């Protein structure tokens, strides 16, 4: 239960870690960012012999944080509140779902909340601003934590001093708070009179968190928390256990959720559409479930890494770098923001007016769960936008190897692309004017089908044409 919520002021010398104010020009876009610390208590759950769960430790105290990004003008508020389970894989809070869909969130007037998900991220925050972040704590209530921590948990950044299993009550209590008119809710006046809908969103490891939530909480304690779900690039292999003492690794468990009772979009790139345990978790499309594979992009791309962090010096100051680390010459630059933003709008319509979105055929895979490629080297099937139907390169969801062994995983899932020769590109498309015409026509087809938003039309066309020019057309 949350007992207090406190706004942490921004000063000239102290700003929120992973702030988007400068990176996204929030004031110019009519948005405000605020950081809050909240105190409370949470239960730690454990698995019972019959496969259910029970409380292992009750009322364990904590202090955590969330980032709030909202329209400055209340009249712009859509009524949609998006809670992102911040990704902890790089060792700091990563707001990847925000990064990919931020333009639509801002255009649509949605509220965004980035909720810290694991205490392994405290270290860089303390390094960046020890005074600001000194209050954060997730102490482990288990007196035998040193000997009870599991190998599976250690693989995913657990520590005996803290307990990752505190998160489930934090998540549900935050969702209930932000949709309520409780005085502790920093948006209690902001949401008055609005038809509020709360969406849970998560990327990669955080998609694994969503799997655990759906398996053990969504239809029980969490029934009143969320109106819809958007799992992005989910890595089922990273699904956490109820607590960090449980011994069974995730992929030795049944991770396939039941058909949800409210809208759920499960969307993947080529890095994980059939990898990282995704084949164990995808469902057949149903009344409230859609699975989408995007042909072309990798887990990490230049858009979500190099472009987003181009104006950022904050992470580098604490020794973190989001640059591409692979040996392949060209990192994957596929603009997956367009499909993801279109899917977000489709989800919001599904939640609000009951309009179920389209179905899309999956990417074809072989008997080894490898994506089947066409003669150009691009995948067959999937959610397709103009760059994949009029290609100037072959897109791959992985990279060959890393320049630095420490970057092996991130370089691998960054992906790469292999340009066609200028001669081949000119043979296919003649010149940029012809290519622009083809891309424009295909973009308009995609808009009609719901694969790209009208608001993204010009940027989608210009990115495709610029890529063709860069590769010699």
Q: Taking a C-beta distance cutoff of 8 angstroms, is the pair 331, 318 a contact?
A: no
User: Which two tokens mark 428?
Assistant: 């296919």
* Per-residue pLDDT tens over the stretch 330-344: 999 999 999 999 999
Q: Which of 255, 306, 245, 297 is nearest to 276 (CA)?
A: 255
250: confidence class by pLDDT, cuts 50, 70, 90:
confident
* Per-residue pLDDT tens over the stretch 340-365: 999 999 999 999 999 999 999 999 99
Collapse the DSSP code of 468 into the 3-class scheme (helix H, G, I; strand E, B; otherwise coil) and give the result: helix
Q: How far is the CA of 411 from the CAs of 300, 357, 402, in angstroms?
A: 9, 34, 5
Per mean pLDDT, which range of 59-63, 145-149, 301-305 is the poorest? 145-149
* Per-residue pLDDT tens over the stretch 8-47: 999 999 999 999 999 999 999 999 999 999 999 999 999 9
Mean pLDDT, the chain, whole residue set: 94
- 62 has a pLDDT exceeding 80: yes
| pLDDT of the residue at 175 | 98
- What is the rounded average pLDDT of the residues 211-233? 95
Which phi and psi angles does 146 have, rounded to 5°? -60, -40
Q: Taking a C-beta distance cutoff of 8 angstroms, is the pair 198, 226 a contact?
A: yes
Burial of 151 from C-beta contacts in 10 A (0-12 / 13-18 / 19+): exposed
3-state SS record for 97-111 = HHHHHHHHHHHHCCE
User: Which two tokens mark 83?
Assistant: 């809670």
| pLDDT of the residue at 315 | 76
- 404 has a pLDDT exceeding 80: no
If phi over 0 gives left and psi between -120 and 50 gives alpha, with beta otherwise, what is residue 472?
left
- What is the rounded average pLDDT of the residues 120-127? 94
Q: Where is pLDDT greater, at 312 or 279? A: 279
| pLDDT of the residue at 132 | 97
Return the percentage of the chain with pLDDT > 70, whole number. Answer: 100
| pLDDT of the residue at 321 | 72
């Amino acid at each position: 239960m949350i007992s207090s919520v406190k706004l942490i002021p921004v000063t000239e010398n102290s700003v929120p870690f992973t702030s988007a104010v400068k990176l996204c020009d929030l004031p110019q876009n009519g948005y405000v960012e605020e950081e809050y610390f909240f105190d409370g208590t949470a239960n730690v759950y454990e698995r019972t012999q019959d496969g259910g769960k029970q409380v292992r430790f009750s009322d364990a105290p904590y202090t955590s944080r969330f980032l709030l990004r909202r329209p400055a003008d209340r009249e712009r508020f859509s009524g949609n509140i998006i809670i992102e389970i911040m990704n902890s894989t790089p060792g700091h809070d990563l707001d990847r779902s925000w990064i990919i869909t931020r333009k639509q969130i801002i255009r649509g007037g949605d509220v965004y909340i980035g909720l810290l998900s694991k205490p392994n991220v405290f270290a860089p925050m303390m390094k960046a601003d020890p005074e600001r972040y000194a209050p954060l704590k997730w102490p482990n209530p288990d007196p035998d934590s040193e000997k009870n921590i599991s190998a599976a948990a250690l693989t995913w950044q657990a520590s005996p001093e803290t307990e990752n299993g505190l998160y489930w009550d934090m998540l549900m209590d935050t969702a209930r708070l932000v949709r309520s008119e409780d005085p502790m809710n920093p948006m209690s006046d902001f949401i008055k009179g609005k038809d509020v809908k709360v969406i849970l969103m998560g990327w990669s490891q955080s998609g694994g968190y969503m799997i655990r939530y759906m398996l053990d909480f969504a239809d029980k304690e969490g029934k009143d928390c969320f109106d819809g779900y958007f799992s992005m690039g989910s890595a089922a292999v990273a699904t956490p256990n109820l607590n960090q003492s449980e011994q069974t690794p995730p992929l030795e468990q049944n991770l396939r959720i039941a058909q949800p009772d409210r809208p759920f979009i499960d969307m993947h790139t080529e890095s994980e559409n059939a990898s990282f345990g995704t084949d164990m978790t995808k469902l057949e499309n149903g009344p409230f479930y859609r699975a989408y594979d995007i042909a072309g992009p990798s887990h990490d791309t230049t858009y979500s890494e190099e472009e987003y962090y181009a104006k950022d010096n904050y992470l580098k100051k604490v020794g973190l770098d989001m640059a591409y680390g692979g040996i392949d010459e060209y990192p994957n630059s596929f603009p997956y923001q367009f499909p993801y933003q279109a899917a977000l709008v489709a989800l919001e319509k599904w939640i609000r007016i009951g309009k179920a979105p389209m179905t899309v055929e999956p990417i074809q895979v072989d008997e080894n769960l490898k994506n089947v490629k066409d003669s150009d080297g691009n995948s067959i099937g999937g959610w397709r936008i103009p760059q994949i139907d009029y290609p100037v390169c072959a897109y791959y969801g992985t990279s060959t190897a890393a320049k630095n062994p420490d970057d092996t995983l991130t370089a691998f899932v960054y992906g790469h692309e292999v340009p066609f020769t200028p001669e081949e590109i000119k043979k296919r498309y003649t010149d940029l004017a012809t290519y622009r015409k083809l891309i424009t026509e295909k973009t308009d087809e995609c808009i009609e089908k719901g694969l790209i938003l009208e608001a993204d039309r010009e940027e989608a066309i210009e990115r495709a044409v610029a890529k063709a020019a860069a590769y010699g057309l």
